[in-house]
Structure 1
Amino acid sequence: MSDPAAVLVAVLDDLRSESDELDQLVGELKPAGWSAPTPAPGWSIAHQIAHLAWTDAGSLLAVTDAGAFAAEIDKALASPHGFVDDGAEAGAALPPAELLARWREGRERLQQALREAPPGTRFPWYGPPMSAASMASARLMETWAHGQDVADALGAVRAPTARLRHIVRIGVRARDYAFSVHGLTPPAEPFRVELTAPDGELWADGPKDAAQRVSGPAHDFCLLVTQRAHRADLAVRAEGPDADRWLDIAQAFAGPAGPGREPKEA
């Protein structure tokens, strides 16, 4: 698919589907259920949804008012380690029904703003400026990742879908960023990444003859780059020292490297 307008529509449709799937997990929760702890230390289910609502609001601001968003960047720079947690904490303090309504309304407003964005527009963000399609992909990645935290808290198992391809693309493109965040020089040569999609299709990126290679299930790769599972618990494999190092530090999100997850007990 090469038409930018068609690409944007497809990504936004997938974002809506991803959000709807998470909504099904939390939409009927009793008030007490929102307090259930998730794998993220100190974050309940309410914190997870509050974070998504908060980030949707920030994304909408970036799309509609770049000047006002610049002030948000200043806040983030002033408190790089507390900025995100503060936003989640404020939202989690709301009554669950109000928080749920805020998330639903905010994500729909963002959907509409991105669908109406002039072609070729790039919007400011905490990292490099993003196109509408890139912003939608980033929102899908975060929705899926925080949705995994919610699913884990509830003991729910989500079936992997073709929407993982958006997360794979971000994770692969963020290779050099992951090295840089850790103070490392990114490898000069491209890697070959071969991942098995949920339907068995092979998703491949990079030269076929690359010496540095990564392979495995796409679902496991997504869990790795969103830091929702420890590498030791996943079937993602590396060939070559640089590829091996990447799998230790990979991240698909902007900002400081997170602590990740501890390996499961044997």
Structure 2
Amino acid sequence: MSDPVSVLDDLRDESAELDALVGELGAADWSRPTPAERWTIAHQIAHLAWTDHAALLAVTDPAGFGELVKVALAAPDSFVDEGAEEGAGLPPAGLLARWREGRDALQQALREAPPGVRFPWYGPPMGATSMATARLMETWAHGQDVADALGVVRPPTARLRHVVHIGVRTRDFAFGVRGIEAPGEQFRIELAAPNGDLWTYGPEDAPQRVTGSAYDFCLLVTQRAHRSDLDLRAEGPDADRWLDIAQVFAGPSGKGREPKGASGE
């Protein structure tokens, strides 16, 4: 796993790439619908700002974060949408400023965090590296929704390795959140990186395997595309099941995206 500084540098760059997409948008463009049901571009950025604020509290004010957890427990199916809705109601300039200020404050707090400290979260506690990796994953995933809404193609970068890493690490979580017993054996995972390298995980002789595109794997585990539209292959029944249910984000299992053919694309 990468050290906190390198992950934070990549998180900064991922955020800057998304900022470049939305920073010059006109007011009307912030209301464009994205592939996420009922979410506009404003909702996507508002969600990132809201989650950055939650992460900052987790790092700097655990008691304050505990109050947010109480809100989440009281409304587990709606608290995420409510946070996005509140931020999306701001004028675009105010929302953009909130996101920029919040992500900068979180970057600084994570860079200054003592080594080995773990912070509370909605799932298991996380260290600075894991927190930064999770924020990069979310920034990339919600940035994908924004790019899709704008009709922009973002070239994949080596930063996707962080998304792949957390996607592999959350394999058992994806089974557990659906009440399915996780496989007892490791899988072999071989993914073609954007630069042509091969990113590998698990024992070479594992009978169950996942192979294909690293970019498509990231789309799968963040539920930004349907499996049938992606260059991914599974060998073995458990690996095949995983590709149907993979989920990198905390919380209830999502319903994912419809196949392109189902929407007439």
| TM-score bracket for this pair, using the shorter chain length | over 0.9
| Matched residue type, 1:122 | R
1:234 aligned residue (223, 226, 230)? 230
Which residue number in structure 2 is paired with residue 80 of structure 1? 76
Q: How far apart, in 2, do the equivalents of 1:13 and 1:198 lie?
A: 19
Q: Residue 194 of structure 1 corresponds to which residue in structure 2?
A: 190
Compute the displacement of 1:65 (Å).
0.7
Q: 2:24 matched to 1:22?
A: no
State the match for 1:71 in structure 2.
67
Indicate which of 34, 48, 57 corresponds to 2:44: 48
In 2, the alpha carbon distance for the partners of 1:131 and 1:196 equals 28
Q: In the alignment, residue 237 of structure 1 is paired with which amino acid? A: R
TM alignment of 1:66-215, pairs within 5 A: 66-215=62-211
Structure 1 CA distance for aligned equivalents of residues 17 and 233 of structure 2: 29
- Which residue is 1:57 aligned to? 53
* Structure 1 portions without partners, runs of 5+: none
Deviation string for 1:123-172 (max 9, x for gaps)? Answer: 00000000001000000000000000000000000000000000000000
Query: Which deviates further from its counterpart, 67-76 or 22-31?
Result: 67-76
- Please report how far the alpha carbon of residue 257 of structure 1 lies from its aligned counterpart in structure 2 after TM superposition: 0.7
TM superposition shift of 1:8: 0.6
Residues 1:250 and 2:249 aligned together: no
Identical pairs, percent: 73
CA separation in 2, counterparts of 1:182 and 1:235?
Answer: 25
What are the Cα deviations for residues 11-50 of structure 1, in whole angstroms up to 9, with x where unaligned? 0000000000000000000000000000001000000000
Task: Give how far 1:259 is off.
Answer: 1.1
Task: Provide the aligned C-alpha RMSD in A.
Answer: 0.9
1:222 aligned residue: 218
| 1:114 CA displacement | 0.2
- Code of the aligned partner of 1:13: D
The number of equivalent residue pairs is 262
Structure 2 residue matching 1:144: 3-state secondary structure: helix
SS of the residue corresponding to residue 130 of structure 1 reads coil
What secondary structure does 2:234 align onto? strand
1:117, distance to aligned residue in structure 2 (A): 0.3
- Give the aligned partner of residue 28 of structure 2: 32
Letter of the structure 2 residue corresponding to residue 212 of structure 1: Q
2 CA distance for matches of 1:9 and 1:178? Answer: 28
Give the C-alpha shift of residue 52 in structure 1.
0.1
Unmatched segments (≥5 aa) in structure 2: none
Q: Deviations over 1:158-197 (max 9, x none)?
A: 0000000000000000000000001100000000000000
Deviates more, 1:158-167 or 1:63-72: 63-72
Corresponding residue SS for 1:123? coil
Amino acid at match of 1:62: A
Which residue of 2 is the match for residue 261 of structure 1? 257
| C-alpha distance in structure 2 between counterparts of 1:74 and 1:216, whole Å | 41
User: Secondary structure at 2:200's aligned position in 1?
Assistant: strand
Q: What is the CA–CA distance in structure 2 between the aligned matches of 1:230 and 1:77, rounded to whole Å? A: 30
Letter of the structure 2 residue corresponding to residue 191 of structure 1: F
| TM-score (normalised: structure 1) | 0.97
Distance 2:17 2:220 in 1: 21
Q: Distance in 2 between matches of 1:78 and 1:179?
A: 25
Alignment-mate amino acid for residue 57 of structure 1: H
